[in-house]
Each structure stands twice: as C-alpha cells, then as structure tokens.
Amino acid sequence: MSKHTPDMPEDVSVTPVGVRLRQAREAAGLTARQVADRLHIILRFVEAIEQDDHDALPGTVFLKGYVRGYAELLSLDPEPLLADLDTQLSMQGKVTTEQQPQSDRARMRRKGLWMFVLIVVGAIGFAFWQGQSGQESSGEAESAVQAPPAVTEPGQPGARSGDVMAPDQKASQETMQSKPDTQPDAEVESAVPAVEASAEEPVADLQPVQGETPNRQGVGEAAQVEATAQDEAADEAIQVLPVEAQLVAVFEDRCWFDARTGDGQREVGLFKAGDVVRLSGAFPLSVIVGNVEAVTLRVNDIPVDFSRFRVRNKRAEFQLTAEALVSE
C-alpha cells in the first residue's frame, strides 16, 4: 500500500508516479530546480519524471534510481512507487532491468576479451621490433670497424698522406737502398748483423692515425648494452598494463553512482554516506558519478582524479582504460 502525505489525494493508486512525485514536491514547497540540485541530476530529467516521459531518460535503470532518490528526498516510501512504476512500464511495453537479455553481457565480455588480446599482440609486436632494431644497430657498428692501415713510406707506391713508418724500419730501408748491388760479399755480411740487431730491438708503438675508428670490442659492447636496454624497456611495456580492474568507491554523502566493467559487471544506485561499493571486472570501466564531491574512487589502489574529466553541475561521466589508469 502506498505511503503518502496528507496533502495527496486518496486515489494515488491510479495516479501516475510522476504526478504523485510532483504533487508531493509542491506540497513540500520545493521547485523542480531545487530537486535537481539536491539529486545532482539535470533539470530536464526531473521534468521528464514528473511528466512520465520515460523516453527522455537514459534508461530503465536510471529511471528507477531517480524515482527512488526523488521519493527519499520527499520522505516517501520508494517501494510502492517503484512497484507502480513497474506496472506502468509493463503497460507501455518497456523491458525492466530483470528482463533484459543476457546477450548484452556476453557481448560486452567478448568485446573486453578482444581488446585484451589486441593489447597483448601489440605489446609483443613492439618488443620484437625493438629487438630487431637493436640487432641491426649492433651489426652496422661492427661492420664499421676496420683494421689499422698498413705502414708505408711516403712517396712509395700505394702510400697515403698520414701513413706512419717506424723509425728503425725507415732507417733500415734507406740503408738497403743506398747500397749498390755490386757491394763485396764482406760488406754484405757485415751489414746483416746490423739489420738483425735492428730487427730484435722493440718497435716503437704506433699511434692511431687521426680519424681511425675505435676498437672492435668497445663498439660491440656499446651496441649490446643499447640492445639490452631496449629489450628491457619493451618487457616493462608489456608488464605494466593491468588485466583486471578492481574498483572501490567510498561515499561521504548522498550520490548517484553507476559503474560498469568491460565484461558486463555493474553496480548502480543512489548511495549514502558510509556506503562502500566494490566492483571487479575487465577494462574499460564506464563510470557515472552524480556528485564528485561526495565520493572517493580508487581503481587498483590508484586514486581517480575527477579533474581529468568533464564535470558539470558536480556530475561526471567518463570511461577509464588500463592505459589511462597507468598514466594517472
């Protein structure tokens, strides 16, 4: 049996729900704008409820939540109103929340699974590309390393400017060239020990020619370190994306709240101070908050900053993906 105020007519059972709420509001001395502000919904939704214009509202779930909040604001028992509302909706041929087909949830679950598969495949492709780039860089660096140029005498065939010859080798070559081929055997024999002695002496260390490339080992190690760093960065990119969303909402005041996961899990209703809502499921999360100042929202222990989203009349509606959560 419907609970009503003394100012309401006795035949409330045949009066539409919207008309009864409007009569109770007028009896309480409130305007439609004041009701919209207290429920944190837009004015045209209040007017649609009072006019029983259900097509102007987002859906049956929202309609029932708004009617419940409206009734509690006017100190009315919401259960009889909701029962009469179900009767009105059935007469109009509308489907209630309990009668909605389960195919919507299955479709959302499949959509969430495909999104997860695409994210994993993209991350693996990125890691493979990074590894190939590192190997190509290492091969190019090693191929650039060349052996030191041969030491030749300036002016000799094949000599280049900047080529260096050891002092002892240069002196020995000059000595051999200055001796004529017709020298006596004695002089040749006396010259042989001098040449052998010169060969036994330690050859002076050759300094690298200006512009010569670094040694092969240093270049190879640098390329290997760079490729390892790129592989580690790719591995981190794969590991940081969470698979499941763990949502926790703590309410400090009355607030309309609707949260849905990518696999069809849902929590919706008008909550009061002290209520805590927990919801688990796949990304992305679709969230509607009627009063952003009345709720603290955390996803996977990461606080959600409402200033990142569009807030109008303290109301926010947004979608949160795994990538957006990581970048919080």
pLDDT digits (tens, 9 = 90+) for 114-131: 888 889 888 898 888 877
| CA 52/CA 83 separation, integer angstroms | 15
Query: Among 282, 326, 284, which residue's Cα sits nearest to residue 304?
Result: 326
| CA 304/CA 56 separation, integer angstroms | 30
Query: With a threshold of 0.75, does the pTM exceed it?
Result: no
* Residue 26 CA from chain centroid, whole number: 50
pLDDT digits (tens, 9 = 90+) for 247-286: 999 999 999 899 999 999 999 999 999 999 999 999 999 9
State how far the alpha carbon of 36 is from the alpha carbons of 39, 44, 71, 76, in Å: 5, 9, 13, 17
Strand-strand pairing, 295-299 and 244-251: antiparallel
Phi and psi dihedrals of 140, rounded to 5? -65, -35
Averaged pLDDT, 102-115: 69
Query: Longest Cα pair distance anywhere in the chain, in angstroms?
Result: 148
Q: What is the pLDDT of residue 25?
A: 95
Residues 6 or more apart whose CB falls under 8 angstroms from that of 9 comprise 15, 23
pLDDT at 305 over 50: yes
pLDDT at 182 over 50: no
